[in-house]
């Protein structure tokens, strides 16, 4: 049943948070038991539903893709703010999360949508110190170029229908930050980097079937020509702290990271034809 807007506006303040919590949306991946991934339109619908449910987000567009699709841009903050000046005045750290620069690498896209929902609920306290900027579907043209997984991402483990790596101009957006030929690149440079100047940028990818010791991996900046200071900080300070925190949190849940790594490493060696013996 759809309630009239005048009724919703009259809901007492004590009831509104519970109503909003009940109305928080689920992603396409969640609703399909992870058999399908979101189209760009699905992403827009999810974000609109999140805002209507009272989440502390401001939803707009970073720009448009080569084929004219909206590149959704979300500012999560509490209280809600909409400009870099407001963020600077708040004294909070600005973090930018960018997902799906390669259209078939969908896990980051679905994860940041779920994260935005968490920031509206159990993780809302993080917004007391952070302003979180999110581009959930940075490459909407590649995302929506759905084809069989065996064709578009031949070594990846699903979903059955998935997008392609390049954008609508057949450019690899992850190789475009020097030339800035693509409208997506120009939009992010103008709308995010030169205006918000985030303290941390996280670029989310998915491997195309390559084997690693862990299912979730991360790396510092890898460009040897980049500034040494930020790279050294991420490599020597931030990532070790993140690893320790994750290991502690998982150990509280009874997860042994060392044992998990040995299992994955053994499986990797067996695929390569080696025999692993732990002493």
pLDDT tens for residues 239-279? 999 888 887 887 777 777 667 767 766 776 777 676 655 55
Q: Residue 19 — pLDDT band, cuts 50, 70, 90?
A: very low
pLDDT tens for residues 37-59? 999 999 999 999 999 999 999 99
Mean pLDDT computed over 21-34: 88
Name the nearest CA neighbour of 159 among 113, 99, 100, 105: 105
Yes or no: say if 165 and 104 are a contact pair by the CB < 8 Å rule: yes
Q: What is the average pLDDT score of the chain? A: 86
Long-range CB pairs of 158-162 (<8 Å, 24+ gap) are 158/34, 158/35, 159/34, 159/35, 159/36, 159/37, 159/106, 160/35, 160/36, 161/36, 161/37, 162/37, 162/104, 162/106
Mean pLDDT computed over 218-244: 87
> What local confidence, expressed as pLDDT, does residue 22 receive?
54
Domain boundaries, the chain: 5-210, 212-279
pLDDT tens for residues 128-173? 999 999 999 999 999 999 999 999 988 888 899 999 999 999 999 9
> What local confidence, expressed as pLDDT, does residue 213 receive?
66
Q: Which residue has the higher pLDDT, 34 or 249?
A: 34
> What local confidence, expressed as pLDDT, does residue 9 receive?
37
> What local confidence, expressed as pLDDT, does residue 265 receive?
67
d(CA 48, CA 110): 15
Mean pLDDT computed over 26-46: 97
Q: Which residue has the higher pLDDT, 209 or 74?
A: 74
Task: Decide: pTM greater than 0.85.
Answer: no
> What local confidence, expressed as pLDDT, does residue 225 receive?
83
For the record, the structure tokens of 232 come out as 């050294």
Strand order in 93-99's β-sheet?
Answer: 57-64, 70-76, 130-135, 93-99, 200-204
Task: Determine which of 20-29, 114-123, 163-172, 255-264 has the lowest per-residue pLDDT on average.
Answer: 255-264
pLDDT tens for residues 165-196? 999 999 999 999 989 999 999 999 999 999 99
> What local confidence, expressed as pLDDT, does residue 28 receive?
97
Helix, strand, coil percentages in the chain from 3-state DSSP, rounded to 5: 45, 15, 45
> What local confidence, expressed as pLDDT, does residue 276 receive?
54
| CATH fold label, 5-210 | Aminopeptidase (3.40.630)
């Amino acid at each position: 049943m759809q309630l009239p807007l005048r009724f919703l506006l009259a809901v007492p303040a004590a009831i509104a948070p519970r109503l909003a919590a009940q109305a928080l949306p689920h992603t396409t991946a969640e609703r399909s038991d992870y058999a399908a991934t979101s189209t760009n339109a699905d992403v827009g619908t999810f974000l609109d539903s999140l805002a209507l449910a009272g989440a502390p987000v401001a939803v707009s567009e970073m720009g448009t893709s080569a084929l004219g699709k909206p590149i959704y841009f979300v500012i999560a903050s509490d209280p809600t703010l909409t400009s870099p000046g407001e963020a600077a005045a708040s004294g909070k750290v600005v973090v930018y999360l960018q997902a799906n620069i390669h259209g078939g690498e969908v896990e980051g896209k679905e994860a940041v949508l779920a994260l935005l929902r968490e920031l509206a609920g159990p993780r809302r306290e993080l917004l007391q110190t952070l302003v979180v900027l999110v581009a959930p579907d940075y490459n909407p043209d590649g995302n929506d170029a759905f084809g069989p997984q065996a064709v578009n991402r031949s070594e990846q483990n699903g979903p059955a229908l998935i997008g392609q790596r390049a954008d609508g101009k057949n450019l690899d957006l992850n190789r475009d930050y020097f030339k800035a030929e693509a409208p997506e690149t120009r939009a992010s440079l103008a709308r995010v980097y030169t205006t918000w100047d985030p303290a941390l940028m996280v670029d989310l990818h998915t491997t195309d079937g390559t084997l690693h010791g862990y299912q979730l991996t991360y790396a510092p900046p890898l460009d040897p020509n980049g500034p040494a200071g930020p790279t050294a900080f991420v490599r020597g300070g931030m990532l070790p702290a993140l690893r320790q925190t994750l290991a502690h949190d998982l150990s509280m849940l009874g997860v042994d990271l060392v044992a998990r790594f040995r299992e994955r490493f053994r499986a990797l060696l067996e695929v390569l034809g080696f025999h692993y013996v732990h002493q």
